[in-house]
Chains A and B, each alone.
Chain A
Amino acid sequence: MASIKVHGNFLSTAARRVFACLYEKELDFELVPVEFKTNDHKKEPYLSLNPFGQIPAFEDGDLKMFESRAITSYIAREYGDKGTQLIYTSGKEMAEMLVWMEVEAHQYDPVVAKLVMEQQVKPLMMGLPPDAAVVEENEAKLSKVLDVYEARLAQSKYLAGDSFTLADLHHLPATANLMNTQSWKLIESRPNVSAWIADITSRPAWSKVVLALKDYYQQQQP
């Protein structure tokens, strides 16, 4: 039995961040399904795994964790000798990696999440129309953020340097969500950003996540 357990599902953006990391590291794990529609993540016993009632939660032996970016960071360090090397542990590259992990969390993700909420979640899952003003405001913000990325990716192939790290990986699930929206044009119009996204989304570990999400959708069909 695997010592690693992930409580969640493949639909969850945050959980996909963890799955991508586990696949990159080639680690066995057990998926303990927790579905959004049952609301089990808002009740016990799930709350004792994640008191904020969010997906995912994570166990490795008797270690219990939540927050996807803490989990990936733990996995990358604890299993440093397995699979893809996902972190720099010293020097200038480590510093750059830390910076761009924060940029993803504070500058990129909040804006992309709002665009996906308006253009995907609201229409497809809640039957509500998008708020055009919110979309416009956040597309303007995302444009400014992506201009910074475009300049950064002119200097190096990946955000922290010459190698793929967690700084890049953390962008994958939210970026995949954005693909089916009109906001994708902001990515397409920036050559360095486009090339970087094409590269990181074609990684075999990420393809496994994409396929698992496709399977998940099919299982949900009545």
Chain B
Amino acid sequence: MALKLHGAPMSTCTTRVMFCLHEKGVEFELVPVNLFTRENKNPEFVAKNPFGLVPVLEDGDLTLFESRAITAYVAEKFKDTGYDLLRHQALKEAALVKVWLEVEAQQFNPAISPIIYQYLVSPLRGGSPDQAIIDTHKEKLEAVLDIYEAKLSSTKYLAGDFYSLADLHHLSFTFYLMVTPAASLINERPHVKAWWEDISSRPASQKVMEGMTIEQN
């Protein structure tokens, strides 16, 4: 029985999981959840994820939420097929992947997420971008990306000279950053830019990005 992924094809957290599923070559069915009508807050959905957020993964009788738990589960369960996202046979490399997975979650995400929200999501909800929030978080993201620039000068990808789940987790939000004025933060840093061009041009990345258009449907 195929995996069922409940979410939306343009949602950052849903696509985080889709990138992973494509890299692993795992079959799945995308079950659309209409975020514009707040279907994610309906009782049937909340029964699957009590936090009322997409995505949710169903694997037989197992129901998972939190995109980074889902990718970790998929990468672990299917570790012997598709691309090796976790370096599971090299403990030291696997440990470094864990470090940069946490960096994305704890350092990168809190800085970039409000920028994407202000530029791209707020207008869809009838608001306009709050420049003060954007400016504060651009400053934070610049500090993070300076560290990335230094790291990517010594290794090709974040955890080492190999693409891993740690790089993959950055795809969704960075994709959207590149369509905002804040794209300069990536373009101004040569190693970060080269890294972005590399990871976004992978076939699995391209496949998912085709569906990432933010418009009301």
**Among the listed B64, B96, B105, which residue makes an inter-chain contact with A106, where contact means beta carbons less than 8 Å apart?**
B105
Contacting residues of chain B (82-117) with chain A, CB-CB under 8 angstroms: 91-92, 94-96, 98-99, 101-103, 105-107, 110
- Of all chain A residues, which has the CB nearest B72? A98
Residues on the B chain within 8 Å of A69, using CB = 102
Residues on the A chain within 8 Å of B62, using CB = 92, 95
Q: Please measure, in the bound complex, the distance between the C-alpha atom of A74 and the C-alpha atom of B101, giving whole angstroms.
A: 12
Q: Please measure, in the bound complex, the distance between the C-alpha atom of A65 and the C-alpha atom of B94, giving whole angstroms.
A: 11
Given A70-B101, A92-B62, A148-B51, decide whether A102 and B95 contact each other with a Cβ distance below 8 A: no
Interface size on A, residues (CB 8 A): 27
- Of all chain A residues, which has the CB nearest B143? A52
Given A51-B151, A148-B51, decide whether A70 and B102 contact each other with a Cβ distance below 8 A: yes
Residues on the A chain within 8 Å of B96, using CB = 65
Tell me the smallest distance from the CB of A93 to a CB of chain B, in Å: 10
Residues on the B chain within 8 Å of A151, using CB = 50
Q: Please measure, in the bound complex, the distance between the C-alpha atom of A165 and the C-alpha atom of B204, giving whole angstroms.
A: 33
Q: Are B50 and A148 in contact (CB-based, < 8 A)?
A: yes
Contacting residues of chain A (9-47) with chain B, CB-CB under 8 angstroms: none
A174 near B: Cβ within 8 Å? no
Q: Please measure, in the bound complex, the distance between the C-alpha atom of A68 and the C-alpha atom of B105, giving whole angstroms.
A: 12
Residues on the B chain within 8 Å of A67, using CB = 98-99, 102-103, 106
Residues on the B chain within 8 Å of A177, using CB = none
Contacting residues of chain A (74-110) with chain B, CB-CB under 8 angstroms: 74, 77-78, 92, 94-95, 98-99, 101-103, 105-107, 110
Q: Please measure, in the bound complex, the distance between the C-alpha atom of A63 and the C-alpha atom of B160, giving whole angstroms.
A: 13
Q: Are B91 and A78 in contact (CB-based, < 8 A)?
A: yes
- Chain B interface residues toward A at CB < 8 A: 50-51, 59, 62, 64-66, 68-69, 72-73, 76, 91-92, 94-96, 98-99, 101-103, 105-107, 110, 147, 150-151
- Chain A interface residues toward B at CB < 8 A: 51-52, 63, 65-67, 69-70, 73-74, 77-78, 92, 94-95, 98-99, 101-103, 105-107, 110, 148, 151-152
